[in-house]
Chains A and B, each alone.
Chain A
Amino acid sequence: MGFFEVTKSLFTGLEYTCLIFALTLLLALPLGLVIAFGSMSKFKPLSFLVKVFVWIIRGVPLMLQVIIIYYVPGFLLGTPVFTRFSAVIVAFVINYACYFSEIYRGGIESIPRGQYEAGQVLGMTKSQVFFKVVLMQVVKRIIPPMSNEIITLVKDTALARVIMIVELIQAAQNYAAYGLMWPLFYSGAFYLAFCGILTILFGRIEKKFDYYHN
């Protein structure tokens, strides 16, 4: 088994890793904002329910959530509900949306009240104040914690293997059964490169917001 063949099968694993990563980001980023608004709601029962939900999702291992979402609905209904891949996506999106929601909440609550008041006395509506004044300041403030969380997501994609999705690590581990160790390190290099690119990207975004400070 040569270098070329291993590379090819690791790339197949990488495809799943990338798909899980991209879909999770795409769906969890907006859902997280919705959850953040829920937990900040002035309607107490809603904010209480959302907070309990976030507590459960953040308090239980993602691996267990993946397993539960894949097996339990199908078992209860007597027929498969999710494919392996969709189960992973659902579990990841919910889990990451909850983490993101807390980052959003922290960002939104860190904006001084005076910003809202200034917008209000200038006759802006609440949504205008949020989208034109507050949101951009929130984005600047949450880039560092967000990049942290997103880099963690890259490596969490490996959890998909618990329901037999052959992602990057599983692809490498398959060779270990044949006594081939170096593909394991090789797969590590894939992760390093992935996270390296993200680090550079986030650095650039941070720089884009450097033109002002509070």
Chain B
Amino acid sequence: MALLEIKNLSKSFGDAHILKDINLDVNEGDVIAIIGSSGNGKTTLLRCLNFLEIPEEGKITVDGTVLFDASASVDEKGRKVPVKSIPRENRLKLGMVFQNFNLFPQYTALENVTLAMKLLEKDGLKTFEGGVEESAKAILTRVGLADKMNHYPCQLSGGQQQRVAIARALALNPDILCFDEPTSALDPELTGEVLAVIRKLASEHMTMLIVTHEMNFARDASTRVIFMDEGRIIEEGPPEQVLGNPVHERTKEFLKNALNK
């Protein structure tokens, strides 16, 4: 059984149908690069998986636990009603790293990592072996920030900030980590250090979904590439196949433009 199962996922904003019937299975240790032009639903897919948007249709299952099922949402008369809220623990199976880092500016790197850990531990939703502080420090060390723990985000470079954001998401031990264009806000020099961290996580068999415009990274770091167009997954497969020998016309066209940059 796949670690993450996405069935018939759909999402619209008003009349705009952004995700149309997305089906995807992700196995443990998969590193999936999601590519495609802007406005074709890549980010919305990740946002739906993290419930920053609530899908209208579909079912999301992680490790056998149903996190979301639109068809199960019915009122007392059995009529279908939109899902309004998501249980807190269902948000913890997946982690999210944003394009703009979204660190908390008033807290140090270490506090950024420990804040949610402490709250979750206090509310009895998670425990951290070896203590919150110690495991947060270990994770910041893993992303190469052992000497920056007490720095505030404004004292860090973009690349360092994004690594703090990765550490913050990792600290909660999610089953799957999602990245929404993690290097798009960074200049090329800083992009490398963030990609290196993600590569390292891949080598440690972290399951990841990465929306990216870095084709080289997608080619050599992912286990599978997904091409999205107009709210659908229209091509998927191993990177050498999708990027090197695409079948679909839209994929060919996109790659021609993307690789000519």
Are A125 and B88 also in contact (CB < 8 A) when A114-B100, A120-B52 are?
yes
Residues of B within 8 A of A122 (CB): 115-116, 168-169, 172
Closest-CB distance, A16 to chain B (whole angstroms): 39
Q: Which residue of A lies closest to B165 (CB)?
A: A118
Say whether B152 contacts A132, CB under 8 Å: no
Say whether A136 contacts B91, CB under 8 Å: no
Closest-CB distance, A139 to chain B (whole angstroms): 10
Say whether B119 contacts A118, CB under 8 Å: no
Q: Which residue of A lies closest to B86 (CB)?
A: A120
Say whether B102 contacts A124, CB under 8 Å: no
Q: Is B153 at the interface (CB under 8 A from chain A)?
A: yes
Which size bracket describes the interface of B in this complex?
Answer: 20 to 34
Say whether A212 contacts B95, CB under 8 Å: no
Q: When chains A and B are docked, how far (Å) is the Cα of A105 from the Cα of B100?
A: 24
Q: Is B4 at the interface (CB under 8 A from chain A)?
A: no
Q: Is B247 at the interface (CB under 8 A from chain A)?
A: no
Contact of B105 among A117, A128, A212 (CB under 8 A): A212
Q: Which residue of B lies closest to A117 (CB)?
A: B52
Residues of B within 8 A of A124 (CB): 115-116, 119
Residues of B within 8 A of A207 (CB): none
Closest-CB distance, A134 to chain B (whole angstroms): 9
Q: Is A137 at the interface (CB under 8 A from chain B)?
A: yes
Residues of A within 8 A of B168 (CB): 122
Q: Which residue of A lies closest to B85 (CB)?
A: A126
Say whether A118 contacts B102, CB under 8 Å: yes
Q: Which residue of A lies closest to B89 (CB)?
A: A123
Contact surface of A with B, Cβ cutoff 8 Å:
112, 114-115, 117-125, 128, 132-133, 136-137, 140, 211-214
Can you give 11 contacting A-B residue pairs, CB < 8 Å? A115-B102, A117-B52, A120-B51, A121-B91, A121-B95, A122-B116, A122-B169, A122-B172, A123-B172, A125-B88, A137-B105
Known: A114-B98, A124-B116. 14 other contacts (CB 8 A): A115-B102, A115-B104, A117-B102, A118-B102, A120-B52, A121-B94, A122-B116, A122-B168, A123-B116, A123-B125, A124-B115, A125-B88, A132-B119, A212-B154
Contact surface of B with A, Cβ cutoff 8 Å:
50-52, 88-89, 91-92, 94-96, 98, 100, 102-106, 115-116, 119-120, 125-126, 152-154, 168-169, 172
